[in-house]
Chain A
Amino acid sequence: MRDRTLWTWHIGAGVVILVLLGLHMAIMHLGSTLGISGSEPTAWESVAARAGSLFFTTTYVLLLGAALYHGFYGLRNILLELNPGPGLRRTIDVGLSVVGLALFAFGTWAALAAPGAATTMGG
């Protein structure tokens, strides 16, 4: 039962990545073409403005979570194909969960701290 749930989340994370990565690509590379933004998306002002936006902060955290889960689940599948014993399998599950959660926490902190950092650095 647990594997079915994990796999369903894996597919769900894939859909989230597809949508949010599509949004990212559209903003970063097709902004002027689609008329989304007039300014250069990699300019300091643009980056700082996005970092201060609740919408973008939310999408960054969502994309981070989805990408980490999707990637670490795939890595787990590859590692489990090496046929580890029950003890090692448990270690892999716990290890990947801890590393994934740590990276998610760090990335979330970075996304939330970005507006303050941008204000400080931008003077």
Chain B
Amino acid sequence: MADTSPRQVTFRLRRYEPGNDRQPRWEDHRVDATPGMTVLDGLWKVKELGAPSLAWRSSCRMGICGSCGMLVNGRPRLACNTQVTELRSDVVAVAPLPNFDIVKDLVPDLRPMFATHRGVLPYLVRDDTAEQEAPTREYRQTPHELEQYLQFSYCIKCGCCMAACPTVATDPRYSGPMPLGQAQRYDNDSRDAGFGARREVLARGSGPWRCHFAGECSQVCPKGVDPAKAIQLMKQDLVLDLLRLRRRRPPAAVAEAPHGTRREDIPAAPPRTVTEG
């Protein structure tokens, strides 16, 4: 039978409140850790019992929302997705993600990352706006075409890759692995026609050219995404485009209506929950 007795671990937390503190400081809290307890659970315990003003960002508790990216024992991780026992240490050192300004304690300021992300047009760019706004059918896409971008679409924008990237740490002009990976995700999507528009942003100095292929972004990604690969594929696409060797394809068309008789027992769609205006 597995040992479920609690074990005392030290949560070493980096505290800092810009405006009030002159510099960050470390604060130790003893916590009873049980098997299965996550770093996020530990933070809640610390907040309840010893540091009520401790600030961090979290939401879903299941590695989906990407809110709780933190530097745990020197490595960017999701606090909700990291069990204390897997760290194999009596000390759990938690700091905010590097390469970002600090809002407070463990809360990084992710706004620059999201501003850059917005700049690479991270959505399907197509001419048929009416079809996108009020879809009548699905866009046709084969399983093979889906595989070209699927793994990049698992990105939850937690910022762990940005925190691990040595180029982001030194070059503020560099867009970083998350925005670039997401740009490639849409460039690889057979439904998308936005390569030309994204190229205007990506072919500049802030694009993939500063990447030194350290690969840390892919190492730390909690969702198994490979942004380093996306960036290399992006370089390849942009260079082939410059040399006029990139294969151009029209974006996927809307699929035809299915043949056959429509089933009678399909329930009606529920009413809209959000009304326009």
Q: Which residues of B contact A81 (CB under 8 A)?
A: 167, 170-171, 210
How far apart sit A7 and B238, CA to CA, in the bound complex (Å)? 10
Q: Determine whether A39 belongs to the interface, using a CB cutoff of 8 Å to chain B.
A: no
| Interface residues of chain A: helix, strand, loop or mixed (majority) | helix
Q: Does B6 contact A (CB under 8 A)?
A: no
The answer to whether A3 and B239 touch across the interface, beta carbons within 8 angstroms, is: no
Asked whether, in the complex, the Cβ of A5 is within 8 Å of the Cβ of B242, the reply is yes
Q: A7–B167 contact, CB under 8 A?
A: no
Question: Which of B167, B171, B205, B243 is close to A3, meaning CB atoms less than 8 Å apart?
Answer: B205
* B75 at the A interface (CB under 8 A): no
B238: chain A residues at CB < 8 Å are: 4
Q: Within the assembled complex, what's the spacing in Å between the Cα atoms of A2 and B204?
A: 6
Contact, CB under 8 Å: A83 / B171: yes
Q: Does B209 contact A (CB under 8 A)?
A: yes
Chain B residues with CB under 8 A of A83: 170-173
**Among B171, B209, B238, which residue has the most Cβ atoms of chain A within 10 A?**
B209
Cα-based distance from A6 to B235 in the complex (angstroms): 12
B203 interface residue, CB < 8 Å from A? yes
Q: Which residues of A contact B210 (CB under 8 A)?
A: 77, 80-81
- A1 beta carbon closer than 8 Å to chain B: yes
- Measured CB to CB, the nearest residue on chain B to A10 is B209
Q: Which of B137-172 contact A (CB under 8 A)?
A: 167, 170-172
Contact size range, B: 10 to 19
For the complex, is B42 an interface residue (Cβ under 8 Å from A)? no
Residue among A1, A4, A11, A77 with max Cβ neighbours from chain B (10 Å) = A4
Give B232-270 interface residues, CB cut-off 8 Å to A.
Answer: 235, 238-239, 242-243
- The answer to whether the Cβ of A119 comes within 8 Å of any Cβ in the partner chain is no
User: When the two chains form their complex, are residues A4 and B207 in contact, meaning their CB atoms are under 8 A apart?
Assistant: yes
Q: Which residue of A lies closest to B200 (CB)?
A: A1
Contact A4 B171 (CB under 8 A): no
Q: A5 vs B235: C-alpha distance in the bound complex, in angstroms?
A: 11
Identify B204's interface contact among A3, A8, A77, A80, CB under 8 A. Answer: A3
State in angstroms the CA–CA spacing of A4 and B246 once bound together.
14
Closest A residue by C-beta to B241: A4
Smallest CB separation, B213 vs chain A (Å): 12
Question: Contact between A11 and B171 (Cβ–Cβ < 8 Å)?
Answer: no
The reply to whether A8 and B170 form a contact with Cβ atoms under 8 Å apart is no
When chains A and B are docked, how far (Å) is the Cα of A77 from the Cα of B239? 18
Interface string of A15-26 (1 = CB under 8 A from B): 000000000000
Nearest Cβ on chain B to A103's Cβ, whole angstroms:
24
Choose one: A1, A2, A80; the contact of B171 (CB below 8 Å): A80
B158 to chain A, nearest CB (A): 25
Choice from A8, A77, A80, A82 contacting B242 with Cβ under 8 Å? A8
Give bound CA distance, A83 to B172, whole Å: 7
Residue of A nearest to B239 (CB): A8
Q: A81-B167, A83-B171 are in contact. Are A11 and B203 (CB under 8 A)?
A: no
In chain A, positions 1-53 with a C-beta closer than 8 Å to chain B are: 1-8, 11
Which 3 A-B pairs rank lowest in CB-CB distance, beginning with the nearest?
A4-B203, A3-B205, A1-B203
Beyond known contacts A81-B171, A81-B210: 13 more, CB 8 A cutoff: A1-B200, A1-B204, A2-B204, A3-B205, A3-B209, A4-B203, A4-B207, A4-B238, A7-B239, A80-B171, A83-B171, A83-B172, A83-B173
Q: What are 11 of the A-B contact pairs (CB < 8 Å)?
A: A2-B205, A3-B203, A3-B207, A3-B209, A4-B204, A4-B207, A4-B238, A5-B242, A11-B239, A81-B167, A83-B172
